Structure 1
Amino acid sequence: MAEHADHPAYPVGLRLSGRRVVVVGGGQVAQRRLPALIAAGADITLVSPSATPSVEAMADAGEIRWERRRYEDGDLTDTWYALIASDDDAANDAASAEAERTRTWCVRSDNADVATAWTPATGRSEGVTVAVLSTDARGRDPRHSAAVRDAIVEALRDGTLAAPHHRTRPAPGVSLVGGGPGDPDLITVRGRRLLAEADVVIADRLGPRDLLDELPPHVQVIDAAKIPYGRFMAQEAINQALIEHARAGKAVVRLKGGDPFVFGRGMEEAQALAAEGIPCTVVPGISSSISVPGAAGIPVTHRGVAHEFTVVSGHVAPDDERSLVDWAALARLRGTLVLLMAVDKIGAIAKALVAHGKSPDTPVALVQEGTTAAQRRVDATLATVAERAAAEDVRPPAVIVIGDVVAIGPDTAPLPAE
């Protein structure tokens, strides 16, 4: 291809589903390229005497066929696309020559100048594939192409590069989006994209509020805490608002803190929408029950210390007849307890755990405003936590961690290897 080096490559998307693809070499290049070929539905044959463990796992799973030998002339018969990526220069040259004779598009990982095809830097964002190739054959810079690709994909994902779907006949629908623990960077990629496409956002107080400032001016943002309730209870009013805006043909996002189904009443909203025949998409979020302790340097599990963790709602006291929690059983557990919505009940909870046999010296950490710039951590024990919480004026939202993991930190001596 050297005589054609002055001409830019012609971009095209190959449809390889069910078509024969041959990969020569089972090393790191094949390990990187094979997943995309598998996802494209290609009928893949790997020709290589050896392979990395990851490539071997693909063969064991039946995703590719593996011919455990060196390349031989004729291996590219009836092949649509070839990836030449072995560490054998002679085999690479021979395979490339066969590809030229058989008019097979061929990528050379070791010498792009003699290849008949180049692999672009690719990325995907919700049904769109971004592929970046250098336009100057003499100045190809894969790192620059990858950087351009990353910038475009990230902008599509976080909504800073607008590519709205044009809805000619809007269908009603609601997305229940878990916004994560508070840091706007901790919302999922899908959640952020749906926010960028929303017409109406009904947001919780505990959702990532900073993201609301990034929304376009036409987006109607509704504070769920300020919906006029009228004859409805709070949750019924929120349900009604979701239904009304969806019926109006709007793309509605219900932005919730943490995960919609972890004490978020997300299923109640999904049920209300289902009763009205309105489609509902659930987008999981990072739960504060694990992310906030992690942000404060607390592992909810640790080898040799805690083999389980239990997440508990503390919005009602242990002696409240509405409580569904078996506090006696929790006191007997050796693992970690993570309490949500429990700041004003922590004294009663600590007293109940101690009464049921938990040591009063059990470490406790209260993490307020976790993952945000206002995050702070207050340490105590079950015996002192009520007094410490009051003295430090700990306020919601806060996650409370109870257990020996509270004392584990980066400077803690590691356990012996198993």
Structure 2
Amino acid sequence: MDYALTGARVVRLKSGDAGIFGRLEEEITALRAAKIPFEVIPGVPSACAAAALAQIPLTRRLTARRVQFVTGHDVTGHLPDTLNMAALADPQATTVVYMGKRTFPALVAALLAHGLAPDTPAILAEAVSHPGQAIARTTITALAERPSQDIGEAPALILYGPLAEGDA
């Protein structure tokens, strides 16, 4: 902001879409408060890029009737206790968990308690739209059982639901 206040042109480039679990609202509020003109150019949401990498759609008539994006952790780093587990356990939805590698075992325990099948297909998509991007196809329970050191440090999304079983 200091550079922008001097009249310099500043670009804030963010991977994905800053409006989905990004800091877009905070940044817009700060820019407006400082009376700095700005433009928001949306990016491709990471969920869409991950689905393209996995060569699957996010929705399908009759079997994946909606897509839902959810954050995998709150400000303390834990699974948010305000998540609607009944909705997240819907077997006819594609769910995309942002920033959820560390909390996924807790999420899966709650999903199973709400009736989601243990063999529900899942995809771990890491470093999406970056060199070294990778996907791993599995099930929600197999992914939840992976030791934390096996899941790595790369930014990741977890997609689960009926469409996650497509061929890689």
CA offset digits 1:336-392 (Å, max 9, x no partner): 001111111111111111111111111111011123331222222122212236474
What residue number does 2:18 align with? Answer: 260
Percent identical across equivalent pairs?
36
Match of 2:135 among 377, 384, 387: 377
Which of 86, 92, 105 aligns to 1:328? It is 86
Shift of 1:294: 1.3
**Counterpart Cα distance in 2 of 1:350 and 1:252:** 42
1:353 maps to which residue?
111
Quote the Cα distance in structure 1 between the aligned partners of 2:47 and 2:70: 9
The amino acid that maps onto 1:400 is I
Post-superposition Cα deviations, 1:267-302, rounded to whole Å, max 9, x if no partner, equal 111011111211121111101011112112232112
> How many angstroms does 1:321 deviate by?
8.5
Residues 1:267 and 1:353: Cα distance change in structure 2 (over 3 Å)? same
Higher gyration radius (CA): 1
State the Cα deviation string for residues 175-197 of structure 1 (Å, max 9, x = none).
Answer: xxxxxxxxxxxxxxxxxxxxxxx
Greater CA drift, 387-396 or 357-366: 387-396
3-state SS, counterpart of residue 384 of structure 1: helix
How far apart in 1 are the matches of 2:67 and 2:147?
A: 22
What is the rounded CA distance, in whole Å, between the counterparts of 1:396 and 1:354 in structure 2? 26
| Unaligned runs of at least 5 residues, structure 2 | none
Normalising by structure 2, report the TM-score. 0.87
Which position in structure 2 is the counterpart of 1:278? 36
Q: Is the CA contact (8 Å cut-off) linking 1:341 and 1:396 kept in structure 2? A: no
Asked if 1:305 corresponds to 2:51, the answer is no
* Partners of 2:134 and 2:126 in 1: CA distance: 5
Q: Note closer, same or farther for the CA distance 1:321–1:292 as it changes in structure 2 (3 Å cut).
A: closer
Q: Structure 1 residues 399 and 389 mapped into 2: Cα distance closer, same or farther (>3 Å)? A: farther
| SS class of match (1:281) | coil
Decide whether aligned partners of structure 1 residues 251 and 265 sit closer, same or farther in structure 2, where only a CA change above 3 A counts: same
Paired with 1:376 and 1:271, the residues of 2 have a C-alpha distance of 35
1:342 is aligned with what amino acid? G
- Counterpart secondary structure, 1:312: strand
* Structure with higher RCO (Cα < 8 A, 6+ apart): 2
Q: Secondary structure at the match of 1:396?
A: coil
Distance 1:279-1:324 versus aligned 2 partners, 3 A rule: farther
AA aligned to 1:284 is: P
Cα root mean square deviation, aligned: 2.2
**How far does the alpha carbon of each residue in 1:298-350 deviate from its partner, in whole angstroms, 9 at most, with x for none?**
32112342121101111239xx5854421233213521001111111111111
The one of 153, 161, 165 equivalent to 1:395 is 153
Q: Secondary structure at the match of 1:347?
A: helix
Contact map agreement 2:67 2:96 (CA 8 A) in 1: yes
**In 1: Cα distance, 2:29 partner to 2:64 partner:** 36
